[in-house]
Amino acid sequence: MMPEIPYKTYLAESEMPKAWYNVKAHMKGAHDPFLNPATRKPCAADELKRVFCDECVEQELNDADESIPIPDGILDFYKMFRPSPLVRAYFLERALDTPAEIYYKFEGNNTSGSHKLNSAAAQAYYAKAQGLKRITTETGAGQWGTALAMAAAFFGLELDVFMVKVSAEQKPHRREVIRTYGANVISSPSDTTAAGRKILAEFPETGGSLGCAISEAVEKAANTKSCRYVLGSVLDHVLLHQSVIGAECKAAFDKYGVAPDVIIGCCGGGSNFGGLIAPYMGDRLQGKNNIEFIGVEPASCPSLTRGKFAYDFCDSARITPLAKMYTLGCGFMPPSAHAGGLRYHGMSPIVSRLYNDGYIKAIAVEQKAVFDAAVTFAKCEGILPAPESSHAIRAAVDKALECKRTGEKKRILFGLTGTGYFDLAAYKKYNDGEMSDNVPTDADLQKGFDTIPII
């Protein structure tokens, strides 16, 4: 007999996961090491610790332990905005008239508006525990900057957020949330760093870029006493922190004695998808399940489906270590009309390796279809989704419609990473019928590939 699944499942405080899930413990060999950009030799832990907090570096390099305990100070912080609900999308199922069961894990019910707070909480905690006074980061759209500002305020750390200038101007409200949490927002490029001054001298009118903002944040951290730099995606330790999403999903499903047949997540840098699938992927790698894992990326920035598996810089300014990952080239620029987020040129090394080894499928979806699904979802389920999350909604809806054709009662889980409250300019474009699809040509991609360094 099928168990009765309520619309929402919130774990009780006592049921919340006490450990993160390190999927690398079950991957065949660690993924390829980071390379020092100057020497092109593997980065030593000490090199990384000059940039990142010590404990994050330890986690970054830990390929052995499946279970990594979450410190009490982070568990406390998690209680502020977790557990997130696992929702059975009964209304969406009804609207689609599908025999499939659709579930989503909703990570947007916090003021940062996304899952980013899971890692911000951890990284701010470790910075504080290490005795640091200050951290730096960059932010584009602003979700990560908001999340880290909340965490820094909670743990009493000073924070400098280098916000891409054009974003700071186009999204003044995001900037204001970050300021409200007490962080210092600096439009990038700025005259506060050598990197910023150099760009400003060359391109006085530039609106900035994530690459430039990363350069400034890293430089500021390196030149400031008791300070480190913090990154919100891509890296293994970020995926580790995000595994709390998957761990909560599994705990909730286990209560009902069921498991998903398909798990779907949107993929930008890969931290949400990697975190969502972690425990189920760990089981899969041990031959304990046969779940279909699907990463969804925008057709305009198709790193998994059309990229190359190669060493590349993590930033467009070419100052970070090199990572082995699926990449469109650190110089790739997604089409400017793209409104749907997930604009990163590369992909988490863990997700990249799992994809390369055949454990993950990837699909690319076009933005009009993404917003179609977003609006259907908003009307059925009452949550206005972030454009990024809506990539996963699109794929989940398509999978449910496929089940309608085949009659299969598959259990579909997708990650609803965030809300779209600060993305209404994109929704306006869609509502006004002014949204276009933007798929790069092979020639566009080749320009990006030409920027991948030859190792």
What mask, x for binding a copy of itself by CB under 8 A, covers residues 149 to 178?
Answer: -x--xx-----------------xx--xx-
Q: Closest approach of Cβ 180 to a copy of itself, in Å?
A: 5
Beta carbons of 197 and 103 less than 8 angstroms apart: no
Both tokens of 117, joined, read 């707070």
Q: Report the alpha-carbon distance of residue 333 to residue 344 in Å, rounded.
A: 9
Q: Closest approach of Cβ 8 to a copy of itself, in Å?
A: 7
383 scored as a contact of a copy of itself (CB under 8 A): yes
Q: Which of 103, 273, 422, 449 binds a copy of itself (CB under 8 A)?
A: 422
Q: Is the bond into 99 cis (omega within 30 degrees of 0)? A: no
Q: Report the alpha-carbon distance of residue 126 to residue 338 in Å, rounded.
A: 36
Q: Report the alpha-carbon distance of residue 172 to residue 371 in Å, rounded.
A: 24
Q: How many residues bind a copy of itself (CB under 8 A)?
A: 42
Q: Which of 22, 59, 110, 316 binds a copy of itself (CB under 8 A)?
A: 110
384 scored as a contact of a copy of itself (CB under 8 A): yes
6 scored as a contact of a copy of itself (CB under 8 A): yes
Q: Which of 65, 428, 434, 450 binds a copy of itself (CB under 8 A)?
A: 428
Beta carbons of 333 and 230 less than 8 angstroms apart: no
79 scored as a contact of a copy of itself (CB under 8 A): yes
Instruction: Return the closest-CA partner of residue 52 out of 39, 64, 43.
Output: 43
Q: Closest approach of Cβ 154 to a copy of itself, in Å?
A: 7
Q: Closest approach of Cβ 145 to a copy of itself, in Å?
A: 14
Look up residue 432 and give its amino acid.
Answer: D
Taking residue 401's Cβ as centre, other Cβ atoms within 10 Å add up to 14
Instruction: Return the closest-CA partner of residue 151 out of 230, 86, 85.
Output: 230
Q: Choose one: 38-46, 77-85, 291-299, 321-329; the region binding a copy of itself (CB under 8 A).
A: 77-85
Q: Which of 26, 33, 73, 81 binds a copy of itself (CB under 8 A)?
A: 81
Three-class SS state of 212 = helix
13 scored as a contact of a copy of itself (CB under 8 A): yes
CA 10 and chain centroid, separation: 23
Tell me the backbone φ, ψ of residue 26, rounded to 5 degrees.
Answer: -110, 5
Q: Choose one: 198-206, 315-323, 389-397, 417-425; the region binding a copy of itself (CB under 8 A).
A: 417-425
Site for a copy of itself in 20-49 (CB under 8 A): none
Q: Which of 80, 194, 337, 455 binds a copy of itself (CB under 8 A)?
A: 80
* Helices 349-356, 271-285: inter-axial angle, 10-degree rounding: 50
CA dihedral 244, 154, 87, 305 (to 10 degrees): -60
Three-class SS state of 359 = coil
Q: Report the alpha-carbon distance of residue 121 to residue 154 in Å, rounded.
A: 9
Beta carbons of 114 and 387 less than 8 angstroms apart: no
Q: Which of 45, 194, 201, 424 binds a copy of itself (CB under 8 A)?
A: 424
Site for a copy of itself in 178-207 (CB under 8 A): 179-182
Q: Which of 109, 192, 206, 451 binds a copy of itself (CB under 8 A)?
A: 109
Instruction: Return the closest-CA partner of residue 135 out of 42, 211, 56, 37.
Output: 56
Q: Closest approach of Cβ 443 to a copy of itself, in Å?
A: 35
Q: Closest approach of Cβ 143 to a copy of itself, in Å?
A: 12
8 scored as a contact of a copy of itself (CB under 8 A): yes
Continuous segment of H or E residues that includes residue 68: strand 67-69
Residue 171 or 306: the one with the smaller Cβ distance to a copy of itself is 171
Look up residue 299 and give its amino acid.
Answer: A
Q: Closest approach of Cβ 161 to a copy of itself, in Å?
A: 14
Both tokens of 422, joined, read 């600060």
375 scored as a contact of a copy of itself (CB under 8 A): yes
Binding site residues, a copy of itself, CB under 8 A: 6-8, 10, 12-13, 79-81, 91, 109-111, 113, 150, 153-154, 172-173, 176-177, 179-182, 375, 378-384, 419, 421-422, 424-425, 427-428, 430-431
